[in-house]
Chain A
Amino acid sequence: MSADPKKAQPVHNPIEINPETCVKCNLCDWICPGDLIYKEEDNRETLPVVAYPDECWYCGLCQSICPVDAITIVFPDEMIHCKTNVVDLLGKVVE
């Protein structure tokens, strides 16, 4: 498994949570439409965890609701500098 370079790459984290400013309030877990962010309830000591970073919609609801602006949405390189040839998305013609 570890010999596979694709699998060795870390998964991009789209939801950066600043541990210094996060008030551990649970709102990001509460609002995430994709069930990505897990925060232990009723525990003001633990940080939220982005459990499924590769399932993010980049909707920004977590960022929008964070009361202390502790969340930054970071787009991965393949979105920011997308190199895909659009024609490759347009199908194959089977003769």
Chain B
Amino acid sequence: MTGDIVVAMRFLGAGLAMVGVLGAGIGIGVVAGGAVQAMGRNPEAAPIVQTNMILGIVFAESTAIYSLVVALILIFVAGSIQ
């Protein structure tokens, strides 16, 4: 019985870990919104704005990736550790 609860809790934990990507979604939206506004004001600067936008998106996404990795570890790796 305890084994089943542990497995259930692992998957529950993985699901809860993915709640962290909420912040990344909002952050990426803010970055892209700012970039699009800047490109609208000054279309000549579009390449430089785009480069920095990609950079900003990557930084904002990295915390989402951390939570994804925690979820993946819970699902795939934690079960085989005794």
Q: Are A and B bound to each other?
A: no
Question: Residues of B with Cβ closer than 8 Å to A?
Answer: none
